[in-house]
Amino acid sequence: MNDRIQEIKDRLDKATEGEWNLEGKEIWRRGDGYGGEYPEGHVWITDFTGSNKNNAVLIANAPMDIAYLLSEYDRMREALEWTKRKFEKEWTYEMGIGEVVDDIIRRFENAAEANRGL
């Protein structure tokens, strides 16, 4: 895992857990009372001023969106690692297949390297 992904995961882990909701001009994590998943009640996240509600919607959905994207990233990395292991063990000696698999792996790794600075 690259450092940027780990930094994002760390920030997400430190954020207020649960689904964030936009209510008026404030973003909250709604509690559900005693004995529920979030017994401590409502947690205020932030508010916004101005007329751009789209920014608030983006912020309110950021934790769930980031968690989803990170899970997809992990799934793709696991698939690439599986492909590398299979290539090294089984496909090296099959005519044509080794070159195709090697090209696929190189393309994934080059794309990941190109996106590290983003």
DSSP bridge pairs for 21: 28
**Number of domains, the chain:** 1
Residue 101: how many CB atoms within 10 A of its CB?
19
pLDDT at 104: 80
Give the phi and the psi of residue 69 in degrees, each rounded to 5: -65, -40
Q: Cα separations (Å) of 2 from 39, 51, 70?
A: 36, 37, 12
Cβ atoms of 16 and 45 closer than 8 Å: yes
Cβ atoms of 76 and 83 closer than 8 Å: no
pLDDT in tens, 5-62: 888 888 888 888 878 888 888 888 777 655 556 656 677 777 777 666 777 777 888 8
Structural domain that includes position 80: 3-115
